[in-house]
Chains A and B, each alone.
Chain A
Amino acid sequence: DAGVIQSPRHEVTEMGQEVTLRCKPISGHDYLFWYRQTMMRGLELLIYFNNNVPIDDSGMPEDRFSAKMPNASFSTLKIQPSEPRDSAVYFCASSSGTSGSTETQYFGPGTRLLVL
């Protein structure tokens, strides 16, 4: 398996522009997570899905952020409009919940976002 795939790997944009981050989870995994990592705040969970349904989006900073999972093999995180404080590394992760407990999460390589 190729693991969790994220694109783009790097994104530089100007304030006010729309940014779309993409994620392909590991095939067969039923949980998908979006995290944001900064030096100041560490690793923050933004939102997670189970079987394509958002379970908890309480970590989404504000209405400028939205996430979708139209099918089991694809998810997007959109920021519109972007602001300099959104600059961070965004990780997507997936896991399988078939065991009835929270198991290993597999992280993608991340998207490094810089908003100028």
Chain B
Amino acid sequence: SQQGEEDPQALSIQEGENATMNCSYKTSINNLQWYRQNSGRGLVHLILIRSNEREKHSGRLRVTLDTSKKSSSLLITASRAADTASYFCAFDRGSTLGRLYFGRGTQLTVWP
């Protein structure tokens, strides 16, 4: 498959805990992005990490990228009930400019 694969498919945690989601891919990439989708809404971009970067932070989000393992992780620290959503990774293969390849997503539920 050309798409990314997220792991786990579903994650359920308590408020205050950290949530870690993983993404694996099979081709070389230019960049990898994470998106969030609240129920009934469109996807919203969270963060982009380029192939020459290893870690990036944005607020409570931390993204890592290991190009040797072809994997990325998204860490949400001190989670809140409002973080409940589906999270998707998407990558740019470089060979098809403009197009992103999306995974199936991880459904995160944060219980108050």
Contact = CB atoms under 8 A, between A and B. Distances in A.
Interface stretch (A65-73, A76-84, A106-114): A106-114
Consensus secondary structure, chain A interface: strand
B31 interface: yes
Interface in B65-112: 88, 90, 92, 94, 96-100, 102, 104-105
Interface in A11-40: 31, 33
Contacts of B48: 103-104
A45 B96 CA distance: 13
B44 A102 contact: no
B41 interface: yes
Interface residues of B, number: 21
A97 to B, nearest CB: 5
Interface size range of chain A in the complex: 20 to 34
B65 to A, nearest CB: 15
A93 B41 CA distance: 13
26 contacts: A33-B99, A42-B105, A45-B99, A45-B102, A48-B98, A50-B97, A55-B98, A55-B99, A56-B96, A91-B43, A93-B42, A93-B43, A95-B98, A101-B30, A101-B92, A101-B94, A102-B31, A102-B92, A102-B94, A102-B98, A102-B99, A103-B48, A104-B33, A105-B100, A107-B43, A108-B42
